[in-house]
Structure 1
Amino acid sequence: MSTPTPTPTPAPAPATDWRTTATPAIDTRATKPKPWWQKTLSSRATSILLLDIVLFIFFSIVTHGLFASLGSIQALLLTGTEALLLALGLTMLLGAGIFDLSLGANLVLSSVVGATIMKAVVAPDAAGNVTGNLGLGIFAGLVAAVLTGAIFGLVNGILVAYGRINALIATLGTLGVGTGLALVISGGADLGGLPAQLQSGFGLAAVGPIPLPTIVAIVAAVILFLVVRFTRFGMRTLAIGSSRPSAERVGIRVPAHLLKLTIMAGALAGIAGFINIAHFAGTSINGHANDALNAVTAAVIGGTLLEGGRISILGTVWGAALAVILQGGLVMIGVSSYYQLMAVGIVLIIAVGLDRISYVRRRATT
């Protein structure tokens, strides 16, 4: 009878000395968030602000300090106020992936309706003396202008959000309708004869060195910055712009949200329309042909994506300042208005080109 072969016992594993065991190094550089100051310095808004400063210094030197005078700065601020309000509205729309070509027509129509209502309530005589309730007339003009802008935006929203019409086509159509309606109401001529108190008390009034209308635009920018940064409304706007189907799947009511955005952008255009008539004590129907170009330039240069999904309110502010400084400086050094349009257009093309390059790079790395 054979004896079974015993199974060999495996040798015990050597004891592990914690003092000599190396822990794999973890690279935390990729996951460590950047400090706020580094994010601020590397942002598009900061780059545009620095460019604004460089251009301001350049034009100040070329014009021997005239460009940097208080009167010139206040004129630039007043000019940029309406452009900023339109750009803020467009920035929010672009964040959700909507484009609007009709903002300039909205401003014109709102200013015409506001001026018409104001004249009907105040009814100044041939000498310009007010024969009605001045406060009520100005308030009625303000409400009429803002309400007209909001209704204009409502129509755009219904066409785009519920009618599913391409935003470019829809707003191109309402641009024509709005401009034509303004011409019909005004008889094809600018409306004047508004109370002088409107211009002196608001349109040309200032708090310190800052014009009062500019303060209104700054307040609007601050509110929208907080909305985008800290509210669900801003989060949903960015979600829709990033991916509309995904936003619908998570329960966002996309059409209703888009309608709110178009009404808000329209109301901002209405406020700009009221500021316009307060500034000039009348309407300027033919003075807003390039409003859409300036609004798009400010928004895109500031870092808001045309494709949606990214909003930079601060960048829009500095982008609007860039367009105003560029145009105002070229005027002071005697450059023709034709070249001014070319300059703004070139800046817009460069900004869109840089955005496309960065967008393709981001897509390639994700």
Structure 2
Amino acid sequence: MHVPDGFINAPVSVAAGAVAVGAVAVSLRGARRELDERTAPLAGLVAAFIFAVQMLNFPVAAGTSGHLLGGALAAILVGPYTAVLCVSVVLLMQGLLFADGGLTALGVNITVMACVTTVVAYAIFRGLAKVLPAGRRSVTAAAFTAALVSVPAAAAAFTLIYAIGGTTDVSLGKVATAMIGVHVLIGIGEAAITALTVGAVIAVRPDLVHGARGLTAPLKLRVGGELVDAPAVTPAPAAVARSHRKLWAAGLVTSLVLAGFVSFYASTNPDGLEKVAHDKGFDKGEKEHDAADSPLADYGVKDITDTRLSGGLAGIIGVGVTVVAGSAVFWAVRRRRDGDTGPASTVTEDVAAASATLAKPAENA
């Protein structure tokens, strides 16, 4: 659902950019409360994993494909504020390096794919978590439902933005019906990927899953005929560090394999937005991407003629760049939390940092 340049007019693109800057600023502050020495490295890995899985377009219907948006997955794994940053990092890397998603439309893409999916998914997830019995199956079921709903919600958000600032005259009713309809089908794939990933991490390290905190019940001992909580056992720091490294390495290898090898077998059909835009005629306003001459444009390495090798190398480079960029962002947020002594850290500073990230796309709008 990467919105290209030219679909949305300049004033609405700038307004969406302002919304995205505000959301990133709020998320930078919120992420300080979510990230700690255990989860900060995981957040960078989550961004890289989302990048990798987004390369795996899967067929849905009528010559249409879909791919993971990632907001629900990131929110459940690392928290909603950190999730907005994760998906935003992915979108920035895709736009700048791979010419995927317009640079003037970066604010629209962050608003729709990072903010809407995360907010909708996490709200549904937390609501279900309160009413379902505590347990891993309930967390997985809530993750499935939240991810499923988040995708058509994002499609509806795009339709609303297009209704305000679309550059072509088309029937909005037909656009809304087509967009939401096809993205319900894509949402099923998103839900399956999200549930499987969350379930896999919970099975190994439930303590690292933001949405599963408190899932593990304390060990009970019978003392004098009564059940009491057993004393908490703190794992040795060396053992914890080894466990973190193993999980991080496994996640990184999985991401590299998905992006570098499995992506070759992804569906080549247009994704939901591309298909609807072509069928309804509002792709006529699309403009050439500002990074169309990038050496990695369209997820291929320039001057490498072997399609498999070119795409695989581009995927591996993308995972590497995303994990480095994401880890740097979350490490900086974590360090700032450790050094935050009070009111000196302000929303204004966060807005300034976020504005610098989106300055170029906003200027190009």
Q: Determine which structure has greater relative contact order: mean sequence separation of CA pairs < 8 Å that are 6+ residues apart, divided by chain length.
A: 2
Answer whether TM exceeds 0.5 for this pair: no
Larger radius of gyration: 1
TM-score (norm 1): 0.37
